[in-house]
Structure 1
Amino acid sequence: MLFQNCNQPVIALLKDTRIPFSVLLLAYALLLNINLLLHPPTVNFTASAPLSRLLLGWLGSPVLAGGIALPLLFILLVWLQAVILNGIINHHRLVEAANGLPGLFYLLLIALFNEHLYLSPPFFAVFGILVALSIVYNSYYTDNFTLFYDAGFAVAVTSLFYLPALLMVLFIFIGITVMRVIKWRQWVVVIMGVLTPYLLATTWFFLTDHLAEFASGHFLHITNSVVQTAYHAPEWLYKTGAAAAVSLSSLLIAQQQLAFSVVKVKKMFNIVIYLLLVSALTFAFTNQYTFGPQALLALPAAIFLAIGFYGIRRTFFAELLHLLLVGMVLYFQYFKYLQL
């Protein structure tokens, strides 16, 4: 079945429910991140957040640090994030039929910044944000307090990878308010979930006599990137501007397409808008010209793009826009090497 449809354009393929989306997304992830295999970034295997520091310490072992093992691992993790995002959107039916477009556009947006997001704490934090998004969506169907505790717990654990992710508590509060009737007990349970990992972490560092180091390192220093790649103001402006323009235009198009959708879909779409706004707040905790928060912004932006492209009925036009986006990504990835 896959080979019978392989002559179709990419967008059409990922709208075809008979196609195994995960396989196509894996191939797409490899193609969009070849630059990492050709020129693996130099990594500084340390971070301020405790869980990121622990994970990077393991990744910096001699077994993994050499060759293309880490680039391949990064590509697999990006692909896994895309598959999870795709599963969430398809499960809750934000569009008419299951498709692979959310994962495709997530891979595309991450590829635009892949050298800077490579094994970074914000990149690892995306897994926790996906869990939080899934829990908020599931709260539409039930008011089980366990869900709200899990949401707070997931955000807190995520913030132990990347402290600005703690802002996602706002997203949880807003999400619960949008999806259900407001109950103050739900907010209390969320706060309890947030406090639990920090109580456990504080206890551990107190018992090991590293509490002061944990407090100063985690709360006073934020690691947005671990690669030794130079940042340039024009590059930051061009990439961020391009991503913002694409995301906002897709938001407007998707909003128009879902104007007459059922209440559930409208609520879930509004949740994505709030996710975008809260994710944007993480820029307040970055150094100048860092791309770290783009990992979080890629999630809502990919959803907007997926909804917008799904509504395009002319295959040629959709594929042309897709190729333009791919061309933009490849230009930013390889242009600097052509100048050498």
Structure 2
Amino acid sequence: MINMFRTYNPINILWLGILLFLLRLGYAYDAPPRLEFTYLEPFARLIMPGKYQFAFPPLFDMFLAGTLVFIQALLVNYLVNQYGLLSKPSFLPALMYITLSGLFTPFLVLSPPLICNFLLIWMLHKLLALYKGDEANSITYDVGMIVAIGSLIYFPFIYMFLAIWSALLLFRPFNWREWVIGIMGYATILFFLAVAYYLSGNLPLFSTIWDPLTTKFPTHVNINYYNYLVLVPVIVIFVLGIIKINQIFFRSYVQVRKAFQLLFIIFLIAGLSFYVKAEFSLTHFLLCVIPVSVFFAYYFLYAAPRWFYESLFFLLLVSIVYFQFNTF
């Protein structure tokens, strides 16, 4: 399967759709009777009157989520190929994104982090353009607004603001105006939110939107470790990917090296910002899927021998399907 997706053949789009369906079949067989989807944080609901919670039929909810994942996979694939992050065009990034988006059953339904992945892809398009761009002010302003919009949908997304400064540090010589204008972009969205609070007579409550940032980082999380055995092949592939990147890192173009550094920073930001939400939820880690997908694609593009990497990927697929049918 990996060899097939190493080529940039449009027929692979059909195979991506088939794989997407198969990876969600197990959960569709035993889905809960009701799935609710809330698309705005409580503090942001003043700016959009109406209902913020939808209870879709489970199969329709999964269909919408699968459609979004499919679109996002193609966008990630386009992003990687456009900026030449791999040595040649392929459909490996899309394959890895669809696979990792089916890793846990909470990933298979609509959720705010899934919506925010569209914004993260948009951010990456703009941030990677900083390397060769002559003017960065408009880009950083736009990305600041994107982060603000994302934080209205899913508050931990606010930490993606650190990715803006990381990109400026990696791609641009220091210019304090470029660092400040990102804050201005974020403040623009906050201004409209403050106006909504003022018009509704809730302006004294505006400062409470920052309360989650005071949450202490947890020292432990109560989880059932048997449910996370599916991560074993993921960790193995990720480590092998890091090793492979390290082997040929300095033979890559400077832009590619800096892009992978930015992706790793985004992975760390996404992974460590889960604690902002009061209740631990696996859906948060959908924000990690984009950078991890690119690392996986890089490994499988250069991996050898064939029997090993094909077996490793097959093991990952089998474990995902197995844990959809089995909970401990």
Q: TM-score range by the shorter chain?
A: 0.7 to 0.9
Superposition TM-score, scaled by structure 1 size: 0.83
- Structure 2: how far apart are the matches of 1:36 and 1:213? 41
CA, structure 1 residues 187+21, in 2 after alignment: closer, same or farther (shift >3 Å)?
farther
Q: Post-superposition shift, 1:138? A: 0.8
Q: Does 1:172 align with 2:164?
A: yes
**Any idea what SS the aligned residue of 2:287 has?**
helix
CA, structure 1 residues 56+262, in 2 after alignment: closer, same or farther (shift >3 Å)?
farther
* Conserved 8 A contact 2:102-2:108: no
CA, structure 1 residues 116+157, in 2 after alignment: closer, same or farther (shift >3 Å)?
same
- 1:201 partner letter: L
Match of 1:6 in 2: none
Match of 2:54 in 1: 60
CA, structure 1 residues 100+51, in 2 after alignment: closer, same or farther (shift >3 Å)?
farther
Q: Post-superposition shift, 1:20? A: 4.0
Q: Does 1:31 align with 2:22?
A: yes
* Conserved 8 A contact 2:107-2:286: no
Match of 2:187 in 1: 195
Q: Post-superposition shift, 1:237? A: 4.6
- 2:252 partner letter: S
Q: Post-superposition shift, 1:196? A: 1.0
- 1:280 partner letter: G
Q: Post-superposition shift, 1:234? A: 1.9
Q: Post-superposition shift, 1:108? A: 1.3
**Any idea what SS the aligned residue of 1:251 has?**
helix
Structure 2: state its 5+ residue gaps: 214-221
Superposition TM-score, scaled by structure 2 size: 0.86
Aligned length: 316
Match of 1:308 in 2: 299
Q: Does 1:115 align with 2:115?
A: no
Pick from 38, 41, 65 the counterpart of residue 48 of structure 1.
Answer: 41
**Any idea what SS the aligned residue of 1:95 has?**
coil
Q: Post-superposition shift, 1:221? A: 6.0
CA offsets 1:95-150 (integer angstroms, 9 cap, x no match) = 11111111111111120124256222222211111111111101112032211111
Match of 2:219 in 1: none
* Conserved 8 A contact 1:32-1:111: yes
- Structure 2: how far apart are the matches of 1:207 and 1:272? 40
CA offsets 1:282-311 (integer angstroms, 9 cap, x no match) = 133245653133111111111110000000
CA, structure 1 residues 309+68, in 2 after alignment: closer, same or farther (shift >3 Å)?
same
Q: Post-superposition shift, 1:82? A: 1.0
- 2:157 partner letter: A
- Structure 2: how far apart are the matches of 1:113 and 1:143? 42
CA, structure 1 residues 51+77, in 2 after alignment: closer, same or farther (shift >3 Å)?
farther
CA, structure 1 residues 292+140, in 2 after alignment: closer, same or farther (shift >3 Å)?
same
Match of 1:161 in 2: 153
Pick from 142, 146, 152 the counterpart of residue 150 of structure 1.
Answer: 142
Q: Post-superposition shift, 1:324? A: 0.9
- Structure 1: how far apart are the matches of 2:49 and 2:77? 26
Match of 2:117 in 1: 126
Structure 1: state its 5+ residue gaps: 1-9, 223-230
CA offsets 1:18-45 (integer angstroms, 9 cap, x no match) = 3344333222212211234323343234
* Conserved 8 A contact 1:48-1:221: no
